């Protein structure tokens, strides 16, 4: 088990390393001249050759991609000093400083991440729970009107683009009807009630929308499990129908659903980007979108890196969880 985790951690590290290199490469190989853009903006369109050269040097763009990457990657572990007009001290873990306002990227991420994690974790576990519950109930009463309408509604919601559902829900529930308070983030440690108030619309929309596909997955796996011999054996022992469904069948059906949940972690993160943007919650998604339009490379690189870390860790957790869920899987 320990050996397995060490091996997995090693490969997880490789994935993160490659992702960061890839992002670096893409950014520099892309048809964009960061220095020129910044130069135009800062000098009101009158960008001289001298000014461009200064900015290029300041951003370190005159060096090769490899040495820039080396400098950047080294900073994560040991910290570095950054010359950008003035000298900025960037202690480990240093993800650089913003091109735009020279703030420390790591501090910026620390500021924005709680909102994103609040949305993602609560909505994520919410839709997993809701989906499995609805799916199991539908499988339990398979063929009834309730089951059929659940499947229909679920298909309908899943086939609409998420941002459309989100936008309509926001317009109707918040803007027109005013049933929900203003979306926004307050730290739950400062004021838990305001935290719930600001987040509830995001949880509701992201949670309900994504729960529909989990309801269909769960229903499918439950229907399959309910047809298995061991459920019949349980019934033959005298176990009640509900026990057979929610203990014997669900115990098996939950495994693939949790696996999908782990692999689908990226969807959850991209879902939060839309959610933040449309509901106007200042989270990492909004930060990333803004930095892409601003060519603020250090922030883009950092958000992608952290997203990669989250996805890799999510998958790792699911794989380890798997051996606890399914006793036939023995990790060695």
Partner 1 sequence: MTEVLDVERSPARQPNSQKEPFLVVEHLSVQFPTYDGLVKAVTDLSYSVDMGETLGIVGESGSGKSVSSMAVLGLHDIKRSRLEGSIRVAGKEIVGASQSTMRKIRGNEVAMIFQDPLTALHPFFKIGDQIIEAYRFHHNVSKRVARRRAIEMLDLVGIPRPDQRVDEYVHQFSGGMRQRAMIAMALVNNPRLLIADEPTTALDVTVQAQILDLIQEMQKEFGSAVIMITHDLGVIAEVADEVLVMYAGRCVEKGTTKQILTHPEMPYTWGLLGSIADVVGDVDKPLVPIPGTPPSLLNPPSGCSFHPRCVHRDKVEGNRCVEELPELRAGGAPNHLLRCHLTDPDAVFESEVKEEIL
Binding site for partner 1 (CB under 8 A): 143, 228-230, 232-241, 248, 251-252, 325-328
Residue 67, CA distances (Å) to 18, 26, 72, 148, 229 in order:
16, 16, 8, 60, 62
Contact 263, 69 (CB under 8 A): no
Q: How far is the CB of 278 from partner 1 (least distance, A)?
A: 41
User: What does the buried/exposed string (b/e) look like for 235-264 if buried means 16 or more CB atoms within 10 Å of the residue's CB?
Assistant: eeeeeeeeebbbebbbebbbbbbebbbbeb
The encoded tokens of residue 118 equal: 């609040």
Q: How far is the CB of 137 from partner 1 (least distance, A)?
A: 17
Q: How far is the CB of 320 from partner 1 (least distance, A)?
A: 17
Query: Going by C-beta distance under 8 Å and a sequence separation of 6 or more, which residues neighbour residue 135?
Result: 214, 215, 216, 217, 218, 219, 220, 221, 222, 257
Residue 19, CA distances (Å) to 22, 109, 305, 325 in order:
5, 18, 7, 30
219 or 248: whose CB is closer to partner 1? 248
27 or 322: whose CB is closer to partner 1? 322
33 or 235: whose CB is closer to partner 1? 235
13 or 230: whose CB is closer to partner 1? 230
71 or 228: whose CB is closer to partner 1? 228
Q: How far is the CB of 232 from partner 1 (least distance, A)?
A: 6
Q: How far is the CB of 138 from partner 1 (least distance, A)?
A: 15
């Amino acid at each position: 088990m320990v050996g397995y985790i060490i091996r997995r951690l090693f490969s997880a590290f490789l994935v993160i390393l490659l992702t960061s290199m890839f992002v670096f490469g893409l950014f520099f190989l892309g048809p964009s001249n960061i220095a020129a853009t910044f130069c135009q903006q800062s000098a009101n369109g009158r960008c001289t050759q001298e000014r461009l050269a200064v900015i290029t040097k300041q951003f370190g763009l005159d060096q090769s991609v490899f040495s820039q990457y080396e400098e950047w990657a080294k900073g994560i572990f040991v910290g570095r000093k950054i010359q950008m007009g003035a000298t900025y001290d960037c202690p480990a873990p240093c993800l650089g400083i913003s091109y735009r306002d020279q703030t420390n990227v790591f501090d910026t991420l620390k500021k924005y991440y709680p909102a994103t994690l609040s949305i993602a974790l609560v909505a994520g576990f919410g839709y997993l729970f809701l989906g499995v519950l609805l799916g199991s109930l539908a499988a339990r009463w398979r063929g009834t009107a309730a089951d059929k309408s659940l499947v229909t509604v679920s298909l309908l919601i899943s086939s609409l683009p998420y941002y459309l559902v989100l936008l309509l829900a926001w317009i109707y529930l918040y803007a027109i009807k005013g049933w929900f308070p203003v979306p926004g983030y307050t730290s739950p440690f400062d004021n838990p009630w305001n935290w719930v108030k600001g987040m509830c619309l995001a949880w509701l929309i992201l949670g309900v929308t994504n729960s529909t596909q989990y309801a269909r997955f769960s229903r499918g796996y439950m229907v399959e499990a309910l047809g298995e011999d061991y459920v019949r054996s349980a019934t033959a022992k005298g176990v009640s129908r509900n026990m057979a469904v929610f203990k014997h069948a669900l115990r098996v059906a939950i495994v693939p659903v949790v696996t999908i949940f782990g692999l689908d972690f990226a969807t959850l993160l991209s879902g939060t980007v839309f959610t933040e943007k449309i509901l106007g919650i200042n989270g990492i998604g909004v930060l990333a979108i803004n930095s892409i339009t601003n060519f603020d490379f250090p922030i883009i690189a950092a958000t992608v890196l952290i997203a990669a870390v989250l996805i890799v860790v999510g998958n790792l957790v699911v794989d380890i969880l798997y051996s606890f869920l399914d006793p036939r899987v023995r990790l060695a």
